[in-house]
Structure 1
Amino acid sequence: MSDVPELLVDGRIYAGWTEMRVTRAMDRAAADFDLRVSERWPGRLDPWRLQPFTPVVLRFGRDVVLTGYVDYAAPEADEKTHRVRIVGRSKTADLVDCTPEIAGTEFRGATLPAIARALARPFGVEVVEEVPPGAPFSVEAKDRTDTAWETIERLARMRGVLAHDDEQGRLVLTRAGSRRASGELVMGRNIVAASAKLDGSKRYSRYVVLSQRQTGAAVARDGDGDDDDSEPDERPNAGVQVSVSGVAEDPDVPRYRPRILRSEGSGDAAFARARAVWAAASARGKAVQAEITVQGWRQQDGRLWRVNELIKVRADWMRLDHELLIVGTEFTLEDTGRRTVLTVTPPEAMTPEPEAENRRGGGSGGGSWGDLRPIR
């Protein structure tokens, strides 16, 4: 299978790249590319045709890798050589950079996909739904100076959804682990190099989440502030916001490190507990990250490596024998040839935050880097 990197511009192919980097991540709205060539273009095409704002499609062989625009071009020349560097990003870069001019500053009764489409449409960016739309927002205000991405990312978090671009330059609304990569990554077999980062600085022994909920017209209280089964209290201030809390612990943090958090929105004690469990699991996952370098740009079955795919990783010296999530890909072309750097992390690092509206209960589990459990 041919993996010659080509940049398509108005039907013309720009090839002959000597160095290349293409990076995509699940926590970023727009992938980016950086291409360099040191001689005249094949076919004697003029390299200075590639100007900022030029629409481009980058592909490896027949597979599209990125659809977007040139951000800047840096041509150089001397008596012997011609060099040019082309840098650009996915079409979704306009969502990151720009503030859309739309009528009004409030969305009423609209779902996340509907709001995302309204914000992305002026920039010619399509929105792809890989998850249900979720509950509509009753009233959601948008600051007039917020970029489209700032609004979309904030609302996506409230619905437990991740947003990133795809190869066609579309904005994808998804959740972690929706696909599976082929084969395995095994040290001594197909892993060229690997490194890990184990960071305990943002892990805590105990998570306490404070939330509020609206009481009914008549609510009884006992001495500790919880509801009880006694007769209603017809106090004048019945119906006010009252505080509730939820607690979760990380047994693998060996010393006293408590963290008190305030949840967004309102919820009952079950929601506060779910939010605390999520905070503990998410912190455990984010504390562990590995970068794995493999030869070439393709998986075992011939597909290009993609983010949001689960892959089994076996590297004994790193205490790794687990199903991990690919959260970042970097395709490179250098003197060493074609390689892919995969950023992997435990899936719980990308677990959606509980929604107050659904009041979903939480679970427990997880552990340190060496105690991760495979997903069944």
Structure 2
Amino acid sequence: MADDVSLTMGGSTISGWTAVRVTRGMERIPADFDIALTERYPGEADVVVNEGDPCVLSIGGDSVITGYVDRVNDQYDAHNHLLAISGRGKCEDLIDCSAQFDSFQFMNATAAEIATVLAKPFGISVKAAAGGLQIRQYIMNVGDTPYSVIDTVCKLSQLLCYENTDGDLVIAPLSTDEAAGGFALGVNCKRAGYLRDLSQRFSEYRVYLVGVSSTVDAGNQSFIEYTVRDTMMPRYRPKAFIAETNDAGATVSNQHALWECNRRIGRGNIVTVTTSSWRDSAGTLYAPNTLAALSMPQLKLIEGQKFTISEVTYRRDMGGTSCDLILMPPQAFQPEPINYLPLAQDVGAAIGQ
């Protein structure tokens, strides 16, 4: 069968799965899968699958998830054998476990360097398209997961972090790669939806400078430091933020107001697509962090407008083969600007005093 799904563990490979659900996403770390098969009158030479086994799930000749088997459900009766397996990518350990680093403090390190140190004990490689800015100091709390730390330092560098098909952690900016052929209703798209939502959008986003003097009126319009307007919001709906302190505070607060506006616009325009193929017109599996041009005038979308694929789910069951995708405008995925402040007792060390 074309694009047969196979699961390889050690030297053994199982294929012929009759029920498949494989999901990868930009904001879904790790990738995960549920697969199952039913044998009628099963023999005694069945391949043994154990929970915890390292595995590679492939579609056709392409690896899709490299990770571990989490759960195995074996069921037998007089006539049938049901084997159901669930697993996740290697980065599951970065999500589930607590971070370990002797000093619990990183000094003058980039996001890529911090991620590499935290991922190494779990046998996970870090693929960094960009190292990011040098962070003077980052202090972990006991119990922090590696991913929570990595996610924070990536935001400081305005980078994304997600899992690739080899189970590596990728640190990179938003991609400009494009899926060949895009999506067109009636051509390669059998079903599509377009959710337009204004409920979490505002007409303007204001950043206020707040003084420490008792004579300063924080609500006075003269203390508005920065304003971002959403011209597509049809009525007056203001959202206010207080500018953060320290050298970078105002700059980061202004960037955050712009990010809030753009992200809410992006998250308020969600396209869902179902196609019968798992691959684009060039034969490449659909993947997250990929642009796709949309030709869907029926949904009042601008012809050729490009949305970013957020999540991909490959499915196969009694209803046939399909691929479900979630797409949003690229600004929906820009990392949040944040202002990290070192703990007071370590500020001197952080600035070399």
TM-score by length of 1: 0.81
Deviation at 1:324, TM superposition (A): 0.7
Superimposed CA distance per residue, residues 183-218 of structure 1 (whole angstroms, 9 cap, x where no aligned partner): 1211111111112222222111111234789xxxxx
Question: Percent same amino acid at aligned positions?
Answer: 31
Is residue 2:63 matched to residue 1:58? no
CA deviation vs aligned residue, 1:55-98 (integer Å, no higher than 9, x gap): 00011121111100011111111111000110000000000000
Change beyond 3 A, Cα 1:149–1:272: closer
Matches of 1:351 and 1:211, distance apart in 2: 25
Which amino acid in the other structure matches residue 327 of structure 1? Answer: S
Aligned to 1:296: 277
Once residues 275 and 244 of structure 1 are traced to their aligned partners in structure 2, the CA distance between those partners, rounded to angstroms, is 15
Question: Which consecutive unaligned segments of at least 5 residues does structure 1 have?
Answer: 214-222, 226-242, 358-376
Q: Corresponding residue for 1:14? A: 14
Shift of 1:28: 2.0
SS at match of 2:112: helix
Q: Does 1:330 align with 2:313?
A: yes
1:307 corresponds to which of 288, 292, 295? 288
Aligned to 1:164: 162
Give the 3-state SS of the residue equivalent to 1:208 in structure 2: strand
Secondary structure at the counterpart of residue 38 of structure 1: strand
What amino acid maps onto 1:60 in structure 2? I
Structure 2 CA distance, aligned partners of 1:44 and 1:305?
A: 38
Matching of residue 94 in structure 1 with residue 93 in structure 2: yes
Instruction: Give the distance between the partners of 2:328 and 2:256, measured in 1 at CA.
Output: 21
Deviations for 1:237-259, whole angstroms, at most 9, x for unmatched residues? Answer: xxxxxx98321111211222211
Give the residue type in structure 2 aligned to 1:297.
W
Distance across 1 between alignment mates of 2:41 and 2:54: 18
Amino acid at match of 1:330: T
Q: Gaps spanning 5+ residues in structure 2: where?
A: 341-353
Alignment-mate amino acid for residue 234 of structure 2: P
- Give 3-state SS (helix, strand or coil) of 1:169's partner: coil
- Counterpart-to-counterpart distance in 1, 2:186 and 2:227: 43
* Number of matched pairs: 330
Deviations 1:326-361 (A, max 9, x none): 11110111123221111110011112344669xxxx
Alignment of 1:338-357 (within 5 A): 338-354=321-337
Residues 245-288 of structure 1 show CA distances to partners (whole Å, capped at 9, x for unaligned) of 32111121122221123466743655543332222111101111
Check the 8 A contact 1:59/1:66 in 2, yes or no.
yes
CA distance 1:53–1:143, change in 2 (3 Å): same
CA contact (8 A) 2:180 2:280 kept: yes
User: Are the aligned partners of 1:14 and 1:41 in contact in 2 as well (CA < 8 Å)?
Assistant: no
Deviations 1:20-57 (CA, angstroms, capped at 9, x unpaired): 0110110122100000111169996435x212111000
Counterpart residue number, 1:254: 234
Q: What are the equivalent positions in structure 2 for 1:201-220 lying under 5 Å apart?
A: 201-210=199-208
Q: CA offsets per residue over residues 88-143 of structure 1, 9 Å max, x none?
A: 0000000000013220111110100000011100000011112x212211111111
